[in-house]
Every structure is written in C-alpha cells, then in structure tokens.
Structure 1
Amino acid sequence: MSRLRSGTNRSTLFCAAAVLLFAGAVLASAARPVRERLPSTVPRVDADRVWLDEELLGRWRDHGWWPPVVITALAVGAVLFLCWAAAQFRSGRLRELPLGQPGVTLSARALASAMAERARGVDGVARAHVRLLGRPRRLRARITLVLDPDGSPEAVLRELARGTIAEARAAAAPRALEADVHLTTRRHRARRIH
C-alpha cells in the first residue's frame, strides 16, 4: 500500500471517528445519568430537546428543491464510499508485468515462482514463498522464508540480496523492485527416547 493511500485511509478513518465520537458525546449528554455526572463546565443537550419541530418541518415542506438535493448528496456519498471500499479490498496483487513491446507481458505469478525457486536454493532455507504486489512501474516482492534450525539469517539475507533479489531487479528493470523479507525458523522436532 502506498504512503499516500495509507495516509488518506488514516485521515479518513480519523475524521469519521472524530465525527462519530462527537455525535455520540452530544447524544449521550442528553441522557439524564450522563448529564448528572458531567462537570458543570461541559456543554450538554437538554433531555426534552426537540430536534425538528412541526413548524420547521412545515417550512421545509414548502420548498420542493431540498428532497432531490439531499437524495442526490446521499447517493453520491454512497457511491464514493463504495468506490473507496472497493479500492481497499483490491488485493494489490500484480497479475502481469508489461515488457518493452506492446502485447508482450510477463506473468507476475511466473516471476514470483522463479524467485521462490531461487530462494529455496539458498543454503539454510527450508521453504520460500514470494508474492508480487504493487503496480507495473513500482513492484514490491513480499518474500517469506522458513529457515533451517541451523541456518544463519545474516548469511541467508546476504545471499538472497546478491542472488534472487538482484536477478529479479534485473528482470524487472527499468522498474523499481522493493523487497520485504520475513524470516521464520523451522523448529527441531522433539526426539522420543524409548
């Protein structure tokens, strides 16, 4: 996920949380048990407050322009929210990588499989899984390695950077390729003595 998208998501969630928290606090201040416990300096809503009286509703009913405006605004808001939600649920997984000529592409799955195969060949690596994310111009490889119990993480990372990642960057050039490596260790199985 890009920094701009992540920052936009956080800002949106923060604004929505602030609005909901403020609305909840205002509505809670109308309840008698909450109102009695609030300090005298805190503004509160009267319990018998009428939010929309009949006179105000009558005035609004005289104007025929506001129902279509409200419905249109709500519909636009719902469509924008659905677009934003669809963008969040997109996995970000890269399907194809366009090569120099039109119509010539490299399957991202094939590149990820080749990277995983090369990573499994590194001394000390028991299992490897690679997933390519991002956009065709800026790639990110998520590499998960399971090391043998006696494998050295430093040696594995050095060999991975010199071999697998360097070859993938050469294959993806001139695009940038970032690599996130997650290391875990395979545990020894306990031996039973009979």
Structure 2
Amino acid sequence: MLRIVNRVVLGVAGLVLLVAGGAVLAVGLGLNPPSWWIHDGPHDVLLDDADRTRWEHHGWWWPTVLAVLAVLVLLALWWLTANLRRHRLTEVLVDTGDGEGALLRGRALEGVLADDATELEGVSHAHVRLTGRRNAPETRVRLLLEPHVDPGTALSHLTTQALTHARNSAGLASLPAEVRMKAVKHRAERVS
C-alpha cells in the first residue's frame, strides 16, 4: 500500500512540476502562451502585487492558509515516518520455557526458512521476509517453482515442513505466512 501511495504522490508531484516548469521555461524562451496562462511573456512575473494581496484583507484568508500548510506538514511527516519505518523484522522472541525467552536474529530465521523451502522438491529458489512484531512474527515467502511442479503440492509441503519446523523451533504459537509462487521460465534451446 505504501509503495502505491509513494508512486502516486511522486508521480503527480513530478508531473505538476514538469508541466509548470516546462511551461514557464517555454514562455521565458519567447513562445507565445495561451490566453488563459498565468503570465504573458518572458518579462512578466508569475504573481504580481495585486494577485498576491487580493485575499489578504479577508478574515478567513490567513487561517485557511495556515490550516492548509499545517495539513501539508502533517502529511509530509506521516510520509517520512512511514518510509523510515523498518519493514523487516530484526529479531524474534523465542520462548525458552523458563519464562525468560531469547532473541533470535530475524535474518537467521529467514535464512533457515529459505534453505528449508529450497530443499523441497521442485522449488528452484525461495525468498523469505519476516514482518510483524517480535513476539508475533509473520512471513512473506516467494517461491520460484520448476515448471513441472503442482503449486498446491508445493504449498502443502511448505506449510507442513518448512513453516512447521520454523514455528516449532522458535516456540511460536503461530507463524502466519503469505506465499507467492512463480514458475521458472526456461529459455528455449535448439535441439539438433
């Protein structure tokens, strides 16, 4: 979801800046702008004194300007914190049975899960990413399957073997997984 928002916001902002900058550059280089354009020629300013001070004497103007700027600052801060937040789980809390617990590096568990998934029959490559909280991790698994493998069988083997092994080893009550599968595309070879 965040990737989609990033792409849309950056795309719209880039398009607006490109069109406005290109139009101002074109008028500055001497092209005749349309009659509705905001300035008339290369020596004209974008906002003259009358345009800048038109609404200044109305009581609603400054509160509206400040409210819009405050909303823009809050949206920019939300966007910044959402992008800086870690999406990968760095450690998992393992129940050791003595009431204390231990911390397991997230990358270690990801590596073991990926190795277990790759050892399954017909799985060419596996990529695992841990998300969620350290006491309730979730996994995102991407499998690259050989063309002859049934996806249902591969999913069944993944859940009954690799994910169950990881869940039991870490002492987790559950280990939800989002699995995406894709078939390997082999290049055609000439047979002589």
TM-score range, shorter chain: 0.5 to 0.7
1:98 aligns with 2:93: yes
Equivalent residues in 2 for 1:10-89, closer than 5 Å: 57=57, 77=71, 79-89=73-83
User: Which position in structure 2 is the counterpart of 1:169?
Assistant: 167
Structure 1: runs of 5 or more not aligned: 14-32, 34-49, 61-65
Distance 1:125 1:80, change over 3 A: same
- Report the TM-score, using the length of structure 1 for normalisation: 0.58
Q: How does 1:108-123 map to 2 (within 5 A)?
A: 108-123=106-121
- What do residues 128-152 of structure 1 show as CA deviations (whole Å, max 9, x unaligned)? 1111112223322111111112112
CA RMSD of aligned residues (A): 3.7
Equivalent residue letter for 1:144: R
Q: Secondary structure at the match of 2:191?
A: coil
Q: Give the number of equivalent residue pairs.
A: 143
Percentage identity across aligned positions? 32
User: Could you tell me which of 154, 157, 160 is aligned with 1:159?
Assistant: 157
Shift of the alpha carbon at 1:156?
0.9
- What SS class does the counterpart of residue 92 from structure 1 fall into? coil
Whether the 8 Å contact between 1:96 and 1:107 is mirrored in structure 2 is yes
Residues 83, 102 of structure 1: alpha-carbon distance in 2 compared, 3 angstrom cutoff: farther
TM-score, length-scaled by structure 2: 0.58
Asked whether the equivalents of residues 139 and 175 of structure 1 are also in contact (C-alpha less than 8 Å), the reply is: no
The change in CA–CA distance for 1:74 and 1:189 in structure 2 (over 3 A counts) is closer
Residue of structure 1 in register with 2:185 after alignment: 187
Q: State whether residues 94 and 134 of structure 1, in contact with CA within 8 Å, keep that contact through their aligned partners in structure 2.
A: yes
What is the alpha-carbon distance in structure 2 between the residues aligned to residue 107 and residue 165 of structure 1?
Answer: 17
Give the whole-Å Cα distance in 2 for the aligned partners of 1:173 and 1:153.
28
CA distance in 2, matches of 1:117, 1:143: 12
